[in-house]
Structure 1
Amino acid sequence: MEKKDIFLLIETRYRSFTNTEKKVADYIKQHTRDVIYMSITDLADACGVGESSIFRFCKTLDFKGYQEFKIALAHSFTMDDETPQLTSEITMQDSINELSSKILSSTVNALSQTNKLINNHDIEKAVDWMIEAEKIHFFGVGTSLMTAMEGKNKFMRITNKTECSFDSHLQVMSAALMTPKDVAIVISYSGSTKDTLEVAKVASERGVKVISITRFQKSPLTTYSDITLLCGANEGPLQGGSLTAKISQLYLLDVLYAEYFKRTNEQSILNKESTAKAVIEKLL
C-alpha cells in the first residue's frame, strides 16, 4: 500500500469537507495518538457522529476503509516523529536489555489492564453456559485463530465437546449448524474482522450464546455478543498480531478454563488423566 501523509491530505482537502467530516478531521488532528488505538465505533462516539460518517470520511481521503486509514495514520505519525520506532515505545536505538525490559513492561501492563477489566458476573455466566453446552466452538481468523486453536487444545484435555475449524468458510458453515444448546467463543482483537463478524452474526441468528474476547467494548462484534470479555492490550495498526495482545486473550481463556475445571472438578480430573495417558507414549 502506498504511504500517504494523512495530515497533508486533511490540510489540502479540509475546505472541501462537509461539516461532519471537518468535525472528524479536527478530532483526529488533536488526538492522533489515541485514534491509532480506537475502533471505528470508539472514534464515531468521540466525534459525536455515526460509524457510516467515519467510513465516508475514510473514502473521501481515498482509503478503502477504516483499517487502511489507521495504517496510513500510524505511518504519518511515525514520519513526524524524530525517533524511528518499531512500535509506540520501542525504538531503533534500543539495546537488547532495553528491548526486553520494554516488552516485559508492556506485557505485564496488558495483563494488569485485562485483570482490571474482568467482570466476575460475566465470567461466572460464561462458564455456566460452557458447562451446560452440548458443543463449545472456538472461532477466530489470523492471529486470533491461533488463540482459538489454543482454547480448543486447552479445553480438549478436560472435555470432549470443543470444536475449532481452521478455514473461514468451514467456520461459518459450522456456525450455520449450531443450535441454542451450543456456545460460540469468538476471538477478535479489533472486533471488526469481516469473516469473524459473519460467524458471530450467523451464530447469533441461530440462537447460539455468543461470548466474544476483544479489545473494544463498542465494536461491530459486540452487537452480536451476549457476553463481551475485554483484553487490555493496546495494539496499533502497524503491530498486528502482537504477542502482547495474544497473551491477554490467552489469559482470559485461562481464567475461563480454571473456573470451568473448578466447577467440574471430578469429571475434569478423570478426563485430564485420560488425555494425559493417551499421549504419554509419545514422550521420551
Structure 2
Amino acid sequence: MGEEFGIVEKLRAMIKGLNPAEKKAARYIIDFPDDVIHHSISELSVLAGTSETTIFRLSKKLNFNGYQAFKIQLARELSRESPPISADKNKLISDLIDALNQQNHLIDDEQLDRIAKRMVKANRVIFFGVASSGIVAEFGATLFMRAGFSTAFYTDPHLQIMTAVSLNWDDIVFGISASGNIRDTVKSIEVASDSGAYTVAITGGIGSRIVSVSKETI
C-alpha cells in the first residue's frame, strides 16, 4: 500500500464499487477501526453481518495476503495516526458529555438511582476501557475520585481481567465501549459479573455483546 492513503481512506474511496456484502464489512471497518483490530475474522463477520469469505476477499482487494496481515497494518496505522492522549482527551470528554446530553431523555431515572445507590455503598468503583474508550474510563475514574469515591481505571486487557477476578459483590464496574463489541472489554465485564461485582455497560451498541454480560446499561 502507498503511504498517502491508509486502509480507512482506501475503503471510503472504493466502497461504491464493492458488492453489497463487501460494503457491509467496509462500513463496519470505517465506523469502528479501533474495534476491528481486536476482532478475529469470525467475530468481524458476525458483527458486520457478512461472511468470513467476504472479509478475506475484501482484505485481498486491499492488497493483503489475508485478514491477519490487514489487521496488523490497520493497527499500525491507528497507532501512527493517534494523537497523544493529552491532545485527544479534551475532545473525547467533550464529545461524551454532548452525547449524554443528547440522550438525556432516554435515560431511565430509576435505573440511574439504582446505580447511584450501588456506587455510594461500593467498596471500589472501577472503570474498564481500551483505546479511545480508555480515555473516557480515566475521565470517569478521575471525576468520581474527586467526588470522594475510591476509584481506579484499567485500559490494559490483562490488568482488567486480573482486577475482574478479584472483585466481589460490594464493587461496581463500568465497562465502556462505543460499539459494545470489544472482545477484551466484554470478557473483563463478564468475569467481573461472574465474580459478583455490579456491572454497568456504557455503550451506544444496544443489543451488543457487552449489554448481554452487564447488569445495567446506560
> Per the shorter chain, which TM-score range?
0.5 to 0.7
Cα shift at 1:108: 9.1
2:108 is the counterpart of 1:119: yes
Which residue matches 2:50? Answer: 57
Cα distance, 1:60–1:166 mapped onto 2, change above 3 Å? closer
2:54 is the counterpart of 1:10: no
2:183 is the counterpart of 1:194: yes
Deviations 1:90-135 (A, max 9, x none): xxxxxxxxxxxxxxxx999745432122111110111111111111
Which residue matches 2:199? Answer: 210
Cα shift at 1:6: 4.5
2:133 is the counterpart of 1:144: yes
Cα shift at 1:203: 0.6
Whole-Å separation in 2 of the counterparts to 1:133 and 1:156: 13
Mean CA deviation greater in 153-162 or 137-146: 153-162
Cα distance, 1:108–1:54 mapped onto 2, change above 3 Å? closer
Whole-Å separation in 2 of the counterparts to 1:177 and 1:203: 8
Code of the aligned partner of 2:158: H
What's the TM-score once normalised by structure 1's chain length?
A: 0.49
Code of the aligned partner of 2:52: K
Code of the aligned partner of 2:213: Y
Which residue matches 1:135? Answer: 124
Cα shift at 1:143: 1.2
The aligned length equals 163
2:169 is the counterpart of 1:180: yes
Q: Is the 8 A contact 2:124 2:151 kept in 1?
A: yes
What's the TM-score once normalised by structure 2's chain length?
A: 0.62
Percent pairwise identity: 30
Superposition map of 1:1-284 within 5 A: 2=7, 3-4=10-11, 5-10=14-19, 25=21, 57-61=50-54, 62=56, 64=67, 110-229=99-218
Question: What are the ranges of 5 or more consecutive residues in structure 1 without an aligned counterpart?
Answer: 12-24, 39-50, 72-105, 230-284
Cα distance, 1:113–1:56 mapped onto 2, change above 3 Å? closer
Whole-Å separation in 2 of the counterparts to 1:194 and 1:129: 26
Which structure: larger Rg?
1
Q: Is the 8 A contact 2:28 2:48 kept in 1?
A: no
After superposing on structure 2, the runs of 4+ consecutive aligned residues of structure 1 that deviate more than 2 Å are 1-9, 32-38, 51-58, 106-113, 165-168
Q: Which structure exhibits the higher relative contact order, with contacts defined as CA atoms closer than 8 Å and separated by 6 or more residues?
A: 1
Cα shift at 1:33: 8.5
Whole-Å separation in 2 of the counterparts to 1:205 and 1:173: 13
